[in-house]
């Protein structure tokens, strides 16, 4: 089975962020390396809350991050309508990106997000990233047809939202998981 010889550790993620000297986006919340990780074909899961304050879970497909650090998440609309309604009503958002191979996991949060019409590059980017993620699911031992169907989407189902991350956290399992990623 294809797994990292040693899983990622939260302490390493925190140290890497503190030692980062390269470009950053979204007012320093995202490093260029984190942005690249989020767009590399990984698991994308999301949460918001309804008007009563109850949490709502959602599953995404892929993301694109622009030069200012705005994160655009592509997802299938039909399974995630309750979550989408909450975002439309101005509820806050949390998105976690995870790579199964190493268990590396990062969470981004913002007080609001905007539903946006999918742009022409969104479909191809989603296709590329979900193919990478599908191969990784197979690589870590998931038998088909699960990886294929899990990452499958019909073009007409594709929806998108955008947000400027206000904070980032390490979610990799282990001590210090959940700590804020800060300079």
| Residues forming the site for another protein (CB under 8 A) | 1, 3-4, 7, 43, 45-49, 53-59, 76, 78-80, 91-96, 98, 100, 103, 105, 107, 109, 111, 140-142, 145-146, 149-150, 152, 169, 171, 173-175, 177-178
Judged by CB, which is closer to another protein: 20, or 150? 150
Alpha carbon distance 71, 132 (integer Å): 19
Nearest distance, CB of residue 94 and another protein, angstroms: 4
Query: Residue 172's closest CA among 5, 4, 7?
Result: 7
Sign, Cα dihedral of 152, 153, 155, 159: negative
Judged by CB, which is closer to another protein: 127, or 177? 177
Nearest distance, CB of residue 3 and another protein, angstroms: 4
Judged by CB, which is closer to another protein: 47, or 62? 47
CA count, 13 A, side-chain hemisphere, 115? 16
Judged by CB, which is closer to another protein: 120, or 155? 155
Query: Residue 72's closest CA among 131, 2, 9, 120?
Result: 120
Judged by CB, which is closer to another protein: 55, or 121? 55
| 52 alpha-carbon distance from chain centroid | 25
CA distances to 158, 164, 167, 174 from 111, rounded to whole Å, are 23, 9, 10, 27
Nearest distance, CB of residue 92 and another protein, angstroms: 5
Nearest distance, CB of residue 123 and another protein, angstroms: 19
Taking a C-beta distance cutoff of 8 angstroms, is the pair 50, 87 a contact?
no
Nearest distance, CB of residue 104 and another protein, angstroms: 12
């Amino acid at each position: 089975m294809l797994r990292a010889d040693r899983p990622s550790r939260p302490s390493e993620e925190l140290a890497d962020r503190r030692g980062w000297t390269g470009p950053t986006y979204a007012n320093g919340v995202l490093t260029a390396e984190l942005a690249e990780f989020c767009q590399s074909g990984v698991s994308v899961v999301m949460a918001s809350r309804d008007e009563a304050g109850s949490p709502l879970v959602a599953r995404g497909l892929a993301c694109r991050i622009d030069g200012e650090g705005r994160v655009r998440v592509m997802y299938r609309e039909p399974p995630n309508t309750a979550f989408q309604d909450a975002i439309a009503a101005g509820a806050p958002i949390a998105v976690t990106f995870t790579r199964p191979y190493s268990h590396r996991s990062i969470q981004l949060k913002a007080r609001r997000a905007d539903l946006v019409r999918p742009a022409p590059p969104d479909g191809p980017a989603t296709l590329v990233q979900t193919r990478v993620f599908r191969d990784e699911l197979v690589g870590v031992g998931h038998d088909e047809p699960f990886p294929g169907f899990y990452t499958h989407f019909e073009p007409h189902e594709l929806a998108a939202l955008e947000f400027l991350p206000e904070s980032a956290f390490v979610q990799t399992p282990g001590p210090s998981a959940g700590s804020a990623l800060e300079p």
